[in-house]
Amino acid sequence: MIITLCNQKGGAGKTTLTLLLALALEDVGRRVAIIDRDPQATCSRAIANLNANGLSKIEILSAPADHDVTFIDTAPRLDEVLGRSINESSRVLLVSSPSPADLWSTQESRDFVLKHLAEGAKTAVLFNSVVKGARISRDLEVLANHIQLPTLRNCIVRRQCYQYAILQGWGALRPQEREEIKSAALEIGTM
């Protein structure tokens, strides 16, 4: 399975969720790799650091190999590199906050994804930085309908430990937080 995370909007959480979802699937025994197609190279840097400290064995690749799951982290741009990444993926996740303003600015990314999506591949919105208990967190499906895309049932809450995972890996998360990420990661396979 090849999974691209994208959104032309910067700071939506593409890199953070690539790392977290990859760590979750590694934790359940999958062989996981990441292709970092963002010149900022945050993801490769984080993985190199985690691997050097014995906190992960996720491989950084430049092209897909034979791993169970390969994530592609992408830059906040609708360019040829993203088009190619989408086209070689079986799953494409549009990462967005649930803010209606952010979702509107995700519409152009959605059109781009639909244009490049391979036959049989699936796409959905993965909501990130959801504030638990906030009214908006109860309206996620309605909000996703606005941009006419299916949404993953599991969403990712705004939590400081997710920022620390970039340095400390899976160990930065408590059991409930691990479950949250794991549920989303496993749902991707059932889209």
Is the CA virtual torsion 91, 12, 50, 74 positive or negative? positive
Burial class (CB in 10 A: 0-12, 13-18, 19+), 3: buried
| Interacting residues with Mg ion between 8 and 27 (CB under 5 A) | 14-15
Residues 24 and 181 sit within 8 Å (Cβ to Cβ): yes
Output the smallest distance, CB 110 to ligand ATP, in A.
Answer: 16
Among the candidate windows 5-13, 46-54, 110-118, 171-179, which touches ligand ATP by CB under 6 A?
5-13
Among the listed residues 13, 25, 98, 123, the single contact to ligand ATP using CB under 6 A: 13
Helix locations, 33-174, DSSP H = 42-52, 80-87, 100-104, 107-116, 140-146, 160-168
Q: Is 168 in the site for ligand ATP (CB under 6 A)?
A: no
Q: Is 127 in the site for ligand ATP (CB under 6 A)?
A: no
Q: Which does 158 bind (CB under 5 to 8 A by kind): ligand ATP, Mg ion, none?
A: ligand ATP
Cβ of 49: how many Cβ atoms within 10 Å? 15
Q: Is 150 in the site for ligand ATP (CB under 6 A)?
A: no
Ranked by CB distance to Mg ion, the top (closest) residue is 15
